[in-house]
Structure 1
Amino acid sequence: MTDYDVLRVFCAPNGGYGNELGVVREGSQVPGAEERQALAAKLGFSETVFVDDPERGVIDIWTPGTRLPFAGHPCVGVGWLLDVPELVTPAGPVGVRLDGEFSWIEARAEWVPPRTLRQYPSAREVEALPVPPDGAWVYAWAWEDEAAGRVRARAFPGRGDGVAEDEATGAAALLLTERLGRALNITQGLGSQLLTAPQPHGWVEVGGRVQLER
């Protein structure tokens, strides 16, 4: 039996909600790509991370159906768990910092796989959306308070792998921040909270609260 931790990433201020993340701290327990894909599918989280070198922060990220070169909530969660200054992903080096109750990463928008960012006139319309058909990765969002940078969002991966809606999506939040060019306070899914801020030279910070579920 493979040992793994379960984190909740981007929790609300009261500690609720957040997106579950599976983390295999000893990646050598599951060395092959086929075995990693099978375990990620069996666990059924939106992403599962395999830690290949905890001291250097080398990680490998899988959804139930594919491998990802970069993903937001896995990096925020594993950065908190390993407490390292950097994570090494196939997309590039991801900066990590812990700041009180928040875990932050710094990454680039071009690392994010294609996403459709779809703006709606109101938060109420976003909350009322049905899950769209599979085929496109849709990030639905609306301003709750544009002056304050408060956003209401939901994410629909559309991959047909059993994850119909993603509770908290750091990569999509990064894309939206890069597009809007401003810091955001995002409420996603049932109540998860993501904080973002653009940085110089094309970098974007994404942060949130992380808890160890088990």
Structure 2
Amino acid sequence: MTDYDVLRVFCAPGGGYGNELGVVREGARIPEAADRAALAAKLGFSETVFVDDPERGVIDIWTPSVRLPFAGHPCVGAGWLLDVPELVTPAGAVGVRLDGEFSWIEARAEWVPPRSLRQYATAREVEDLAVPPPGEWIYAWAWEDEAAGRVRARAFPGRADGVAEDEATGAAALLLTESLGRALNITQGTGSQILTAPQPYGWVEIGGRVRLER
């Protein structure tokens, strides 16, 4: 069996919750795309990262069914684990910085695969949503406190690959931040926390707590 680490990314202040991430540190030992796809499907995490060059931060990101050019929580987790100044993804170079309890990345909205941002009137409406049928990638959100930038969100990938709801999604948070043009403090899923901040020239920072599960 291939060795891999399991992280939880975008944990709550007490260290709970967060989205699980599989990281294969010796990704170069699994060079074929078909083999990576099979392992990602077998592990069943919302995303699995294959590290092709740990010193340069070259990574390859897979869901259980598709390869992604960029994804938020895999980059936040891999940046924390590898402790490098940037990650090299198919979409582009992702800036990384570690700031106390938070791991941050800097990326661009155009790198994010298409997904629908769907606003609701109240946080309770978001919390009461049933998982929609597969088809559309939906990020459901509502203001908890608009003045303070606090958001309640849930994410439904709609891929029919065993991940009906994503606990914490940095890429969708990046899109929402770019759309609203302001810093956000997002509670997603059952209790994960994502922090975001717009940066000059179209960049957005996404940050959160990372824990090593095993």
TM-score by length of 2: 1.00
Q: Distance in 2 between the 1:110 and 1:177 partners?
A: 13
Give the Å deviation of 1:31: 1.3
Q: Which residue of 1 aligns with 2:113?
A: 113
- How far did residue 149 of structure 1 move? 0.1
Name the CA distance, whole Å, in 2 between partners of 1:30 and 1:4: 12
**3-state DSSP of counterpart to 1:6:** strand
- Report whether the alignment pairs 1:131 with 2:131: yes
Counterpart-to-counterpart distance in 2, 1:30 and 1:171:
26
Over residues 153-205 of structure 1, what are the superposed CA-to-partner deviations in whole Å (9 max), with x where a residue is unaligned?
A: 00000000000000000000000000000000000000000000000000000
Task: State the AA in 2 paired with 1:33.
Answer: A
Which residue does the alignment assign to 1:189?
Answer: 189
Q: Is the 8 A contact 1:2 1:29 kept in 2?
A: no
Q: Does 1:99 align with 2:123?
A: no
1:15-71 Cα distance to aligned partner (Å, 9 max, x none): 000000000000122111000000000000000000000000000000000100000
Q: Is the 8 A contact 1:10 1:19 kept in 2?
A: yes
Q: Report if the CA contact (8 A) 1:76-1:103 is conserved.
A: yes
Where do 1:7-156 residues align within 5 Å? 7-156=7-156
CA deviation vs aligned residue, 1:54-108 (integer Å, no higher than 9, x gap): 0000000000001000000000000000000000000000000000000000000
State the alpha-carbon separation in 2 of the partners of residues 98 and 182 from structure 1. 21
What is the number of equivalent residue pairs in this alignment?
A: 214
Structure 1 unaligned regions, length at least 5: none
Letter in 2 for 1:101: E
Asked if 2 retains the 8 angstrom alpha-carbon contact of 1:19 and 1:167, the reply is yes
In structure 2, distance between residues paired with 1:23 and 1:132 = 29
Please state whether the residue corresponding to 2:76 is helix, strand or coil: helix
Q: Secondary structure in 2 aligned to 1:110? A: helix
SS in 2 for 1:166: coil
In the alignment, the residues of structure 1 paired with residue 151 and residue 77 of structure 2 have an alpha-carbon distance, to the nearest angstrom, of 22
> What are the equivalent positions in structure 2 for 1:169-208 lying under 5 Å apart?
169-208=169-208
Percent identity of the aligned residues? 87
